[in-house]
Amino acid sequence: MGLAGHSSEIAKKLGARGRLICFDRDPKAMQLGRARLDEVRAELATEMPEVLFEPRAFSEAAQVIAPGSLDGLLADFGVSSLQLDEAHRGFSFRSEGPLDMRMNPLIGETAEQVVNQADEEELANLIYEFGEERRSRRIARAIVRARPITTTAELARVVSAAAPSMKGDKIHPATRTFQALRIRVNNELGEIQSLLKSAGFLLKPGGRLVLISFHSLEDRLVKDAFREAARNGEFEVLTKKPVVAGEEEERKNPRSRSAKLRAAEKR
């Protein structure tokens, strides 16, 4: 659900007979998303659909939704603006904060624990695999030498010193390492794989599956799953190429620049 941007627009189209089920494992997002949908309820009055809130990861949808009952399923992957903009969540290297990175800050291993407890080879492998960072071994070696590392700013300095920006590189040198740690801490790719496996069981024939990814690892999972489902006759792919933000949308929301939307219909 995030901050309920998509959910608000879906609610407006569902009407009074519709049902909207909102998932998010981030308690703060759930709180703010509920508030935004309350505003939509005040606007729509009797035309507001039934809204159910599930404070859990979207990978658990099959635990609470009946098979073959959904007309549509939308998943918006990755980190939210709320998480990036709050320094104490530890997602961003642009401001000083604790190395946390958990989407649900109440459970699980923190990025600080991974950074300070994983051995050098494990760190190098996860930075390479989840961050697609070619200089992963150099970065992992620098991290181990600099430990203990407790804040986002400390980690960003260590990574930047070990692997400074190369000519023509438009992103901060710590971007890929932070992405890798975030994916590892939140098991993001595993969550997506779980959702992809259950989506076909949850949707009705003719139901739509719409997935928004933000980096190549996510998009590759979706593209491969759609190709396999089309080959098996389970889905028809509706987007030959991913839908991306236009110039106007990018001006209003620069973070939409990396978003890719793919859609498929259950047969």
Three-state DSSP state, 156? helix
Q: Is 172 annotated as a binding residue?
A: no
Q: Is 6 annotated as a binding residue?
A: yes
Q: Is 58 annotated as a binding residue?
A: yes
- Apex 183 CA angle, 179 and 185, nearest 5: 115
Q: Is 83 annotated as a binding residue?
A: yes
Q: Is the dihedral of CA 48, 259, 246, 72 positive or negative?
A: negative
Q: Is 24 annotated as a binding residue?
A: yes
Q: Which residue has the tokens 């609610």?
A: 11
- Are 237 and 264 in contact by the 8 Å Cβ rule? The answer is yes
Distance, in Å, from the CA atom of 162 to the CA atom of 144, rounded to the nearest integer, reads 12
Q: Is 88 annotated as a binding residue?
A: no
Q: Is 23 annotated as a binding residue?
A: no
DSSP string, 193-241: HHHHHHHHHHEEEEEEEEEEE-SHHHHHHHHHHHHHHHHTTSEEE--SS
Binding residues: 4-6, 24, 58, 76, 83
Binding residues for S-adenosyl-L-methionine: 4-6, 24, 58, 76, 83
